[in-house]
Structure 1
Amino acid sequence: MSNDISTASSTYLDSLKWQDKQVASEQKSDELTQEDFFSLLTQQLSFQDPSKPADNDQMIAQMTSFTMAEGISNLNSNFQSLAASMTSNSALQASTLVGKQALLESDKLDLNDTGDARGTAVAEGPVESLMLRIEDSSGQLVRTIDMGAQPAGAVRFAWDGKNADGERLPPGEYKIKAEGQLNGEFTSLPVATFKNIESVNINGANGIIVNTKEGAVRLTDVAEIA
């Protein structure tokens, strides 16, 4: 009994495969190839009236139109293959970003169990003193860091996660403020901090999207990957 069922199943599967091949063959046969075109053209010439031969200009126009149509079709196929290849390469590139850190414009510092919380402060011009003030989630000042005189541009900083007494603070989200002193006056400076990349995805015209705990941003908006 089991042999009969096995044989019947095999026969049924074989019939399905044959039907798939037949459908594919029929679909392919519906396409007019260059060989088919010239075969039809030859047939047309063989049955033409000798007293009224086909117009050469018309024949050339037909051949040119077919050649152009076939060329455009091939070009479209090539572009589709190129687009698929580019998407594949983008996906491969995106997958390597997970687990790394992205430098984003943000005043939020993510402190882990170990290691430093890093970022940059940007000074439009040279400053006599660059001060970093770090606050906890309640807004309480936990650490002040004097970076000294700094030139114009991005100034890197790293906070070891310790308070003013040298005690390691619990992991979590902290806030950082940067101020630059010039001519005795302090001015707020923009800051950027490193965020862990949790995942990435490809979003059409927006390209690669980087997802962090703080939100999603385009890869082109990331200042640095570390």
Structure 2
Amino acid sequence: MSPQTAQTTQSNVAAATNTEQTMTGNPFLDGLRLPEESAVPEPNNQELTQEDFFALLSQQLSMQDPFKPVENDQMIQQMASFSTVDGITKLNEEIVNLNALTSSSQALQASGLVGQKVLIPSDTAHISAEDTSMKGIISTPEPVDSITVRIEDEKGQLVDTYTVDGSAGGNIDVSWDGLDKNGEPVAEGNYTFKASGKVDGTSEELPVSTYAHVTSVSLGTAATGAILNLRGVGGIKISDVLAVSET
């Protein structure tokens, strides 16, 4: 091999080596390197834009039969159709942005409920070191002389039982001090209110709603809205809240 040929070969090898991306082992320096060009071609956008439409329309006009030109009403109809479709697309984008803005605004307003208690359509509440008692509301279709209230744990076992006066009818306030039959504090966990009374001479189960402590608020989606995170209970949509209480 001649000296000139050897020199040319060495130059080509050096050039190829310089173009390769080598890793130094230093994350900061490696992050400063320019990314290599991707061999995968960019996907073609098959969407027909307004510029494409007018380009096709101009091509159609330039190649039309001069003895049978396109009628003005046909041209106007094509332009109107494209404008309608383009307007609907932009309107959908604006609606998506509006929904996102509404969800953020709703979550911001709902943040004022953090630290308060809300009435939810559930008969289950949480007992903890922070909340050692439970409160709720029994809904009666008519006045009931005596309502039997049962407290059950997560396994369905009876913890305590007592009666409340339901002669006023409507919504009857109910509470439990978190003590079992022996007067001992129960363990932390979820407990359920069960209420029954005689309606028209027949014993019936009565619906119970309970109060839960709001610990935080999640943004949610446009479909769900803001989500209230309740201590020991989980999340609930703000639209499902029946009432708000400070205590």
Q: CA deviation at 1:126?
A: 1.3
**In percent, how many aligned pairs have the same letter?**
33
DSSP-derived class of the 2:143 partner: coil
1:127 shift after superposition: 0.9
* Equivalent of 2:229 in 197, 202, 211: 211
- Segments of structure 1 that go 5 or more residues without pairing to the other structure are 1-15, 17-29
In structure 2, the partner of 1:57 is 73
What does the per-residue CA deviation read over 1:104-160, in whole Å, with 9 as the maximum and x for residues that have no partner? Answer: 31244536557753111122321112343556787443x73x432423322112345
Q: Does the C-alpha gap of structure 1 residues 224 and 49 become closer, same or farther in structure 2, counting only changes over 3 Å?
A: same
Q: Is the 8 A contact 1:127 1:181 kept in 2?
A: yes
Residue 188 of structure 2 is aligned to residue 172 of structure 1: yes
SS at match of 1:194: strand
Aligned to 1:158: 175
The answer to which structure has the higher helix fraction is: 1
1:193 Cα deviation (Å)?
1.6
Aligned length in residues: 194
**RMSD value over aligned CA atoms?**
4.6
TM-score (norm 2): 0.54
In 2, are the aligned partners of 1:123 and 1:151 still within 8 Å (CA)? no
Q: Would you say 1:225 and 2:244 are equivalent positions?
A: yes
Q: What does 1:73-222 correspond to in 2, within 5 Å?
A: 73-102=89-118, 103-108=120-125, 110=127, 112-113=129-130, 116-134=133-151, 139-141=158-160, 144=162, 146-161=163-178, 169=185, 172-173=188-189, 174-180=191-197, 187-201=204-218, 202-203=220-221, 205-212=223-230, 213-222=232-241
CA spacing shift, 1:31–1:157, aligned 2, 3 Å: same
- Tell me the secondary structure at the aligned position of residue 105 of structure 1: coil
- In structure 1, distance between residues paired with 2:210 and 2:140: 15
Structure 2, gaps ≥5 residues long: 1-33, 35-47
Is the Cα contact below 8 Å between 1:111 and 1:117 reproduced in 2?
A: no
Deviations 1:7-43 (CA, angstroms, capped at 9, x unpaired): xxxxxxxxx9xxxxxxxxxxxxx9646xx959x86xx
SS of residue matched to 1:197: strand
Name the CA distance, whole Å, in 1 between partners of 2:83 and 2:234: 51
Any idea what the Cα deviations from partners look like across 1:149-202, whole Å, max 9, x if unmatched?
A: 42332211234556789x784673455443435689865433222122334431
Structure 1-normalised TM-score? Answer: 0.57
